[in-house]
Each structure stands twice: as structure tokens, then as C-alpha cells.
Amino acid sequence: MIETPLFCGRCGVELQPGSGDFFVVRIEAFADPSPPDLSLEESSTDARRRLKELVAQLNYTSEQELMDQVYRRLTIHMCNPCYRIWIENPAGA
Ligand SMILES: [Zn+2]
């Protein structure tokens, strides 16, 4: 197995596997998984037209782009100091 060097995703410091000096952070993000609210009033004609537009749009989008739009999974590594700062405000800039 080839050892690829690991770097902190925030500060870029090199991390040493086995030294316990970093965290692995897995991020899974997906678009609103709830089914569309059908109680929202929309005539079936409108719905059909929107569906047609959507399908036309999809034909121009690659499968990968489509996946990226609804689902992303990332794994990042962070050194301890960066992790401690990040975990307090993971959604912050
Ligand atoms: Zn760092």
C-alpha cells in the first residue's frame, strides 16, 4: 500500500498517520430528501409543463453534474488545532 501524504484541509500542515494529531471529517450533504408537497396548489397542466422543462434541462446536464447537485460526500483531514476551531462553528466561513 502506497502511503500518500496527508495534509490538513485548513492550514495545509502535513499530518502523520498514527500520531493521533489529526481528525478525519466526513461530510455528507444531500438536497432536501422530502417528497414534493403535493398539497401546494398546482394544476396538472402546470405540473406537466414543469416536468417537461425539467426533463429538457436534465438532458443538458451530465450524470455527474446531476449527482453533484443533489449529493456530495467529502472526506477532509484536519490537524488538532484546526479541528478544535472548526468543530465549534462547522457551518461558518
Ligand atoms: Zn490545520
pLDDT digits (tens, 9 = 90+) for 42-90: 677 888 888 888 888 777 778 778 777 788 999 999 999 999 999 999 9
Ligand 1 centre to CA of 65 (Å) is 30
The confidence score (pLDDT) of residue 13 equals 97
Q: How far is the CA of 57 from the centre of ligand 1 (A)?
A: 41
Position 50 scores a pLDDT of 85
Return the pLDDT at 2: 61
Mean pLDDT of 13-27: 94
Q: What is the DSSP string of 50-62?
A: HHHHHHHHHHTS-
Angle at 60 (CA atoms; ends 56, 65), nearest 5 degrees: 120
Ligand 1 centroid–CA 11 distance in Å is 4
Q: What is the pLDDT of residue 1?
A: 55
pTM of the model: 0.60
